[in-house]
């Protein structure tokens, strides 16, 4: 088992350093005897692992577990893998970093904080992920989009919501940043004389790739459709 580490205090001549040294020896003996329930914490320091975000509470504490790719390409729990839970505390070992959302699979690396406790630092993905638009809210010209992670199923059924992913995410469309005028719309389309056009939100079930900005917000880029009225 893994013991906590102390950073101050003493009992007579025995200081916190002595107690930590005893814990270290016990953990090494368990590892050598093969009776340790999980790999010693220090052996995981610096190792990058894949983690799935299970939930985020009202205080922003993240519950997570270590996962790995299975044969069908989905994410599966690693037996005996790292987790945020200890006993009844689901967020005993924090996951720290911007951009964590429920259902996301991220990479993380173990460190110790200033008190000596274990924490995991999330490594933000720089590559895009695929999402299915499920809802748009607002009145335009910019909307707030709700989406689910997507996976290509087949040429018959197309893209589906990834069954290994739970929960929705909020996204914004960078293509909606330009302001439309009476003569020019979208990314530079010229409006014919006598024609009125109104920007429309991205259609539900559309599949888009999304990136995170510097603050961790998911954003995608997809030119909007327009409602056209002639004369």
DSSP characters over 59-72 = T-PEEEEEEEE-TT
Percent of the chain at pLDDT > 70 equals 78
The per-residue pLDDT for 97 is 75
More confident residue, 86 or 173: 173
Lowest pLDDT segment from 3-7, 63-67, 109-113, 191-195: 3-7
Answer whether 51's CB lies under 8 Å from 64's CB.
yes
- Average confidence (pLDDT) over 38-65: 75
Helix (H) or strand (E) holding 24: helix 16-33
Average predicted confidence (pLDDT) for the chain: 81
Flag whether pLDDT at 56 surpasses 50. yes
Percent of the chain at pLDDT > 90 equals 35
The per-residue pLDDT for 73 is 66
Flag whether pLDDT at 39 surpasses 60. no
- Average confidence (pLDDT) over 63-92: 85
Boundaries of every domain in the chain: 1-37, 43-123, 129-230
Residue 34: pLDDT band with limits 50, 70, 90? very low
Flag whether pLDDT at 212 surpasses 70. yes
- Average confidence (pLDDT) over 202-207: 97
**Chain position carrying tokens 């088992």:** 1
- Average confidence (pLDDT) over 215-221: 84
Q: How far apart are CA 69 and CA 37, in angstroms?
A: 23
More confident residue, 123 or 152: 152
* pTM for the structure as a whole: 0.53
Q: How far apart are CA 41 and CA 49, in angstroms?
A: 13
More confident residue, 43 or 197: 197
Flag whether pLDDT at 17 surpasses 80. no
- Average confidence (pLDDT) over 151-156: 91
The per-residue pLDDT for 202 is 98
Query: Could you tell me which CATH number the domain at 43-123 has?
Result: 2.40.50
158 backbone φψ class: left, alpha, beta (φ>0; ψ -120 to 50): left
- Average confidence (pLDDT) over 29-33: 49
Lowest pLDDT segment from 1-15, 86-100, 191-205: 1-15
Distances (CA, A) of 107 to 24, 48, 136, 155, 214: 27, 6, 30, 31, 17
């Amino acid at each position: 088992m893994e013991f906590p580490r102390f950073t101050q205090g003493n009992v007579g001549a025995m200081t916190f350093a002595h107690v930590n040294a005893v814990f270290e020896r016990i953990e090494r003996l368990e590892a050598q005897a093969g009776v340790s329930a999980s790999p010693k914490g220090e052996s995981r320091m610096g190792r990058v692992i894949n983690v799935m975000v299970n939930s985020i509470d009202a205080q922003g504490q993240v519950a997570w577990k270590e996962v790995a790719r299975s044969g069908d390409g989905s994410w599966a729990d690693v037996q005996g893998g790292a987790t945020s839970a200890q006993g009844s505390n689901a967020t005993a070992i924090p996951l720290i970093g911007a951009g964590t959302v429920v259902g996301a699979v991220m990479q993380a690396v173990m460190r110790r904080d200033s008190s000596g406790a274990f924490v995991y630092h999330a490594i933000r993905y720089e590559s895009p992920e695929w999402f299915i638009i499920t809802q748009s809210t607002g009145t335009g010209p910019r909307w707030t989009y709700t989406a689910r992670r997507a996976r290509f199923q087949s040429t018959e059924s197309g893209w589906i919501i990834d069954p290994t992913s739970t929960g929705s995410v909020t996204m914004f469309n960078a293509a909606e940043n330009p302001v439309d005028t009476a003569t020019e719309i979208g990314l530079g389309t010229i409006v014919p004389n006598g024609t009125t056009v109104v920007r429309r939100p991205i259609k539900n079930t559309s599949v888009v790739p999304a990136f995170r900005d510097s603050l961790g917000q998911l954003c995608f880029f997809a030119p909007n459709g327009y409602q056209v009225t002639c004369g």
